[in-house]
A and B are shown apart, each in its own frame.
Chain A
Amino acid sequence: MGTLNHGELTVMCTNLQKACEKQLRSEEAALFGRLATYFSEKTEKPGRQATLQEIGLIIDEEIATLYPEANEQADKAQDRGAKRALLWGEKVTRLHKSFLTRLERNPKLLDETPVWVCESCGFLFVGAAPPAVCPICKVPNIKIHKMEVK
């Protein structure tokens, strides 16, 4: 625990914030939200502009090593929850890779077409309208949000 960095502590807290919201514990959710904001503000920034290629390289490493290792352990322990998270996570990660490749080829990709993200599993989709149910976690598309910037 003592070794978690601020970015990791941020997601620990946003995860618990969402868990509290699902149990209708709004005070607890807001408190975890405050902690998440504190850690998010402290999170180290690269201090330079990142490239699509370097993000792609980390993803390649995840698919080559981290996912197979985690899958092996989850299989061995017969941990259904972990296997579920890894199955969805790996599919979404492959979508990230193809998204980055498409952006590299066409930096104007999102000028013409909207991009959507599923709040349940992270499914990322470029298209005019989202599918009726998420193809990865099968949640109805009320949970798939259009990404917009001001």
Chain B
Amino acid sequence: MFASRNVRLCTKDCICLFVCPTGATDTESGQIDASKCLDGCRLCVDACPGGAIYLVPKNYPKPQPKHEDVVQTLFALAESKVKTRQLANALGDDHRLARKALDFSLEVLAEDCVREGGYMLPQSAAVKEFLNGLKERYREDPAFPIEAVERLRDLL
């Protein structure tokens, strides 16, 4: 787990600079240097008066099992949101702004359905299976960025 700073909460008290044993927070970018940050050290997290520093876990707990019927109904909704999004994007040019607002809003709604449908954590087994499925389905298509899928498999 390495530390990260929420710059919106940081009140520049710079206690993190004082407590950090490695100088990881001594950066000009406003962020903490993850390569210097000690795994799980959390001295800066506890010392920060603004509550602006938090730890990002490397390993998350296993996702709770999702009930088949919940997943199915959430994906039915996602499908409907995607269909609505396609129609919203096909509205006439007199509705350009409405098109944009509906597109953005429907994207968030559809994403939330698949997120709660078992795809919250990129590190989960469900996502690995998803990536493998993509590789299988699109291996004939030379335009498919297969190297992106392979790199993701290595990283996650």
Interchain CB contact under 8 A, A19 and B115: yes
Say if the beta carbon of A43 comes within 8 Å of chain B. yes
Interchain CB contact under 8 A, B87 and A55: yes
Say if the beta carbon of B67 comes within 8 Å of chain A. yes
| B interface list, Cβ under 8 A from A | 4, 8, 34, 56, 66-67, 69-70, 72-92, 94-98, 100-102, 104-117, 119-122, 127, 129-130, 133-134, 137, 143-145, 148-149, 151-152, 155-156
- What chain B residues lie within 8 Å of A19 (beta carbons)? 115, 120-122
How distant is the Cα of A58 from the Cα of B87 in the complex, in angstroms? 10
- What chain A residues lie within 8 Å of B106 (beta carbons)? 96, 122
- What chain A residues lie within 8 Å of B134 (beta carbons)? 9, 35
Q: Which residue of B lies closest to A103 (CB)?
A: B98
Q: Which residue of A lies closest to B72 (CB)?
A: A73
Interchain CB contact under 8 A, A73 and B73: yes
- What chain B residues lie within 8 Å of A55 (beta carbons)? 84, 87-88, 91, 102
- What chain B residues lie within 8 Å of A46 (beta carbons)? 86-87, 90
Contact of B151 (CB < 8 Å), options: A31, A38, A48, A49: A31
Interchain CB contact under 8 A, A8 and B79: yes
> For chains A and B in complex, what number of residue pairs have CB atoms within 8 angstroms?
205
Say if the beta carbon of A101 comes within 8 Å of chain B. no
Interchain CB contact under 8 A, A89 and B155: no
Interchain CB contact under 8 A, B91 and A52: yes
The contact sample of 12 A-B pairs, CB cut-off 8 A, is A8-B78, A15-B111, A15-B115, A27-B151, A38-B143, A38-B145, A70-B70, A89-B112, A92-B105, A109-B98, A145-B104, A149-B100
Interchain CB contact under 8 A, B91 and A49: yes
- Residue with the highest number of chain A CB atoms closer than 10 Å, among B4, B85, B114: B114
